[in-house]
Structure 1
Amino acid sequence: MDFLSEPMLLLGYAFAVIVFVIGSTYVIKNLPGIETHVVYSLWRSERFKRLIKRFSKLSKFISAVSVLCSVLGFGIFASDFLFMKERKLKHRLIATAIFSMALSFFYFFTFQFLIIGVPFTRAYETVFAVLFTLFGLSGFGLFLMVVNGLHIVQGLFAGETVCPGVAPLIPGVKIPKVPVFIPWYGWPALIIALILHEGAHGIQAIKEKIRLKSAGILLLGILPFGAFVEPDEKGLKAAKPEKRMLIYSAGPSANMFSVPIFILIAMLFNAFFLTPAYKAYEKAYLSVVEGVEIENVMETMPYCNGPKGPAYGILKSGMRIVAVDGTPVNNRIELATVLSSNRFKERVFKVKDGNETAEFSITPNQELPLYPPLNFGITVKDIPKAGAKIDGKIESAFFNAAIIDNFIWLCFLLSFLVMLFNFLPIVPLDGGYIANDLYSYYFLGEINERNKKKISDAMLALFFVIALLNIIPFFV
């Protein structure tokens, strides 16, 4: 039984979590430097402020990265605002053309692969490219939610199974109907992403001569789940809009800059540690198995609203998979290798059931981000040779290396998601404050509190409608 698939168990689990969080928050409320707010707390400390000031030596570097990432975050509007808004129209148009080409090249070598890799976003490939050039990642992220929301509505009218477009990702917790799961060791990866984010805000604020009122750790109950910096609000409002933009963009910029660093670390770790450990494990593993059989055939997939398992009613537990598309498979590794060459392709499974052999054509699930053979709605297990056993040291070395590798990739993934989320043009996210200044200037003609409120309200209303479409699958 899936623990979180039963409504009463889910409610009980949620109740226990709420009681723990509220109770532990109450316990720590009288500790020095702690400011509690029912379920979360702010742990302020001069030590954190001193730490940020110590790293303020990196302010020039952080500032340069913030300028670059402001343009990536808000496209040609940000480039014109930061560099060209006081220049002659002719020069602004030339600069806009240059920045447009640069942003287009960046998109085609990075985010385009995300769009063409998903069937329902592929049709909007050109629109994504244009919006990225105009509005940067803020427009890209918002339109991604629009497309996903439309896909959900179309799927529901067609009677198809659809996944939520937005959902909380809590490390160690399987959210019902959400096909993405972050293991428990995602917590330190998330904390790293948030510390980088908030630390960069603080460093950039110091560079722009904005006083830091406080800094510290965010606690959910007694569990640390992030960091915060609190710049002087009056000083921030009085600062020039360009300086405010760099302060707000410093956080997501730090996350963006960390993404290629984590990728590089992962590649180096893979080359020098994971790959040698895997090869040793694979050699030992293949020597102790002699085939692969189906362990379970799912009637419904354990994600979203439970679409029918593609292999249900065709394959059955206990069948031995002999070949796929004519390629012999003798273990799970070979099976996954064959199926992974194209996750969306119809496959011909040759199976052996007792003394009988048969072939079946099966099309995998096209929507869920599942890797083979799970996208066919089956789980498999290897058939061990009698009395064979893998050396424990080889097995331990591989699994430890795999966990470290997964952690590094989680640091990459969560930094990317924190960056993309914070560039969304809605208050109280960083992107919302940037959008208020930018779009007040370009669409309303002047940056003032009244115009910024108009922009903020419009963006919030738009986001509310889009988010509502994306969460419909939770309620159907």
Structure 2
Amino acid sequence: MNKQNKSPHLKNSDEKENKPPAKWELSDATRPFREFFASVSPKDKNAKLAGLAIIILASAYLFSLILGAGLSAMGAFIVSILLFLFCGEAMRGWMGWEGFWGIILFKNRSTLAYIDRIAHKYADIWIALSDIGLVLGYGLFSILLLGKEQKKPARLAIMYAGGMVLLIAFSLFVAPFAMSVITGMLSGGDFSGASVHLRENFSSFGQVPLEVGEEEIVVPLFSIAMLFVMIFGGLAGSITISLIFYAAITLPAVLGKIFAAIVAFATGGEFNIDGLPPPGGAPIIPGVNLPFVEGIIALSILLVVHEMAHALLARIANVRLDSAGVVFFGILPFGAFVDPDEKELEKIEKYKENRVLVAGSAANLVTCMLFFFLLTVAIAGTEDLRLSGWKVMDGNLPKGAVVYSIGGIDYSGQNLSFAPGESVAVQTSFGEFERVVNEEGKVGVEMRLVEKTGLGFRYAFKQGWGWVEFFLNILALTFALNMVVGVVNLLPIPLFDGQRLMDAGVGNKRISFAVSIIVSAAFLANLLPWIFR
């Protein structure tokens, strides 16, 4: 039997080439959708732009329908995210743009020369801000993230003296005001209520009497413990412990409600979701739980500041920047990005890498303080333009108007009822309006109490001064969101800068991984009450 000679360089036609399957990535999930739009996209430039305009207008129309559909905060958020995801992927496929998961990246290398120039021209300022940001973020424990250069006695004294003064001022004045702004402007969550709820639940641990002059005040041990946590662990340490403790409150409450719902479903009984503690956090998206235009402007400022700071410290450390540009999520402008060379970043000295990582949050906290000052001045300077009373938030009266009387009765928040179908006069700061009472005996208007002082950051302006309210909203959201993102980004949670900073400070991967899992779980547990609202 003769054997067929085969060349090692040739294959028979009936042999199949065994190629390993291509590695599947999460971003591939939207590839068929994107490729469909790429396949039907015309080559003619004008036709392509016309199609892009149709996608944008259709997405904007669908977004308006979502906002007016009366969905819960959770429902509106999820549907909006899906809309922007598919809108972004459709535009990417149609135009051939770069990006991922609905996020569109418009890269521009011409800005890199500008970044490089100001990075080296003001290097000492950027380094000082980054070093103080470490102290703000991690308190005395930030010593674990410093290099030999930063540990010189004179430099340490300046860093910690300045950092600790800012940390105390931040926690006493800036942070409480920021929480007041968020509670007043972010729908779907009373986050100042979460802070109060946390203190009330742990005040039973004991109290310490302190003499202040001739008076004696009582301070809960929990508050004293949190003060020490802030001094040693900074803002990130304080928020981390608060998340863990508050998760111990929210998780049992939510699980209890879920169990009660299962029992009610099995027995045919009634179930009420009310009674959950206030949420400890919530996702944010302009138009859903933030004012739309003001929210986009504030988030854009936040992201530009954050990414620019990363870029500046990267160039000071001689790390190459591959690209920079602006970011869109679907049709929403969402700020800027820089793309440092990750391999080069990992090769530089550890303390320099830590500076690059913390720079974004440090810039956000500095921006927060700047806008805190601007907002305080603006609020004080516009008090004579504001009104006290019950402000129209939604319904069949002009939004922003303050209601003085309904049906000839001075309105001060009381529960008024009229005969269904009756026509009543409503006197407001925008004039008098006639409205027909609905079947429930109400005018059908949602209102909330506002003060001329702007207490709780809830206010109403005289007619014709709405542009001042728009301006104040931008200042307020930029101030508050920079604080929130600046601090949260320092938490030891995967994908956050705080995760890599903790790895560098702890130096033990097992401990770092365990802490990351605990904090991530606590972070999600804090969101649960918001999900069930």
For normalisation by structure 2, the TM-score amounts to 0.58
Offset, 1:95: 11
For residues 46 and 413 of structure 1, what CA distance do their matches in structure 2 show? Answer: 31
Q: Which amino acid aligns with 1:464?
A: S
Per the alignment, residue 419 of structure 1 pairs with 486
Per the alignment, residue 128 of structure 1 pairs with 226
Structure 2 contact 404–428 (Cα < 8 Å) conserved: no
Q: 1:143 aligns with which of 217, 241, 264?
A: 241
CA gap of 1:416–1:286, structure 2 versus 1, over 3 A, is closer
Find out whether 1:265 has 2:374 as its counterpart.
yes
Structure 1 contact 74–137 (Cα < 8 Å) conserved: yes
Offset, 1:460: 2.8
Offset, 1:266: 2.0
Find out whether 1:404 has 2:471 as its counterpart.
yes
For residues 493 and 78 of structure 2, what CA distance do their matches in structure 1 show? Answer: 31
Structure 2 contact 138–234 (Cα < 8 Å) conserved: yes
Listed one character per residue, the Cα deviations across residues 109-144 of structure 1 (whole Å, up to 9, x for unaligned) are 347856998422333322321221222122122122
For residues 467 and 355 of structure 2, what CA distance do their matches in structure 1 show? Answer: 40
Q: 1:169 aligns with which of 274, 284, 302?
A: 284
Structure 2 contact 112–323 (Cα < 8 Å) conserved: yes
For the residue of structure 1 that corresponds to 2:279, the secondary structure is: coil
CA gap of 1:286–1:412, structure 2 versus 1, over 3 A, is closer
Listed one character per residue, the Cα deviations across residues 57-111 of structure 1 (whole Å, up to 9, x for unaligned) are 33321211110111111111213542779989x99x9999979975874466347
Find out whether 1:277 has 2:385 as its counterpart.
yes
Q: In the TM superposition, what are the counterparts of 1:138-287 in structure 2 within 5 Å?
A: 138-156=236-254, 157=256, 160-174=275-289, 181-272=290-381, 274-278=382-386
CA gap of 1:261–1:198, structure 2 versus 1, over 3 A, is same
Structure 1 contact 131–139 (Cα < 8 Å) conserved: yes
Per the alignment, residue 438 of structure 2 pairs with none
For residues 84 and 386 of structure 2, what CA distance do their matches in structure 1 show? Answer: 38
Per the alignment, residue 437 of structure 1 pairs with 504
Structure 1 contact 103–133 (Cα < 8 Å) conserved: no
For residues 104 and 206 of structure 1, what CA distance do their matches in structure 2 show? Answer: 28
Moved more, 421-430 or 235-244: 421-430
CA gap of 1:38–1:80, structure 2 versus 1, over 3 A, is closer
Offset, 1:172: 0.8
Q: Which amino acid aligns with 1:267?
A: T
For normalisation by structure 1, the TM-score amounts to 0.65
Q: Which amino acid aligns with 1:121?
A: L
CA gap of 1:48–1:20, structure 2 versus 1, over 3 A, is same
For residues 147 and 166 of structure 1, what CA distance do their matches in structure 2 show? Answer: 14
Per the alignment, residue 356 of structure 1 pairs with none
For the residue of structure 1 that corresponds to 2:322, the secondary structure is: strand
Structure 1 contact 294–317 (Cα < 8 Å) conserved: no
CA gap of 1:71–1:6, structure 2 versus 1, over 3 A, is closer
Q: In the TM superposition, what are the counterparts of 1:260-409 in structure 2 within 5 Å?
A: 260-272=369-381, 274-278=382-386, 292-293=410-411, 315-317=415-417, 372=449, 395-396=463-464, 398-409=465-476
Moved more, 455-464 or 110-119: 110-119
Which of the pair has more CA radius of gyration?
2
For residues 11 and 280 of structure 1, what CA distance do their matches in structure 2 show? Answer: 36
Q: Percent identity?
A: 24
For residues 281 and 120 of structure 1, what CA distance do their matches in structure 2 show? Answer: 28
For the residue of structure 2 that corresponds to 1:427, the secondary structure is: coil
Offset, 1:271: 4.2
Find out whether 1:459 has 2:500 as its counterpart.
no
Per the alignment, residue 115 of structure 2 pairs with 52
CA gap of 1:215–1:99, structure 2 versus 1, over 3 A, is closer
For residues 409 and 297 of structure 2, what CA distance do their matches in structure 1 show? Answer: 38
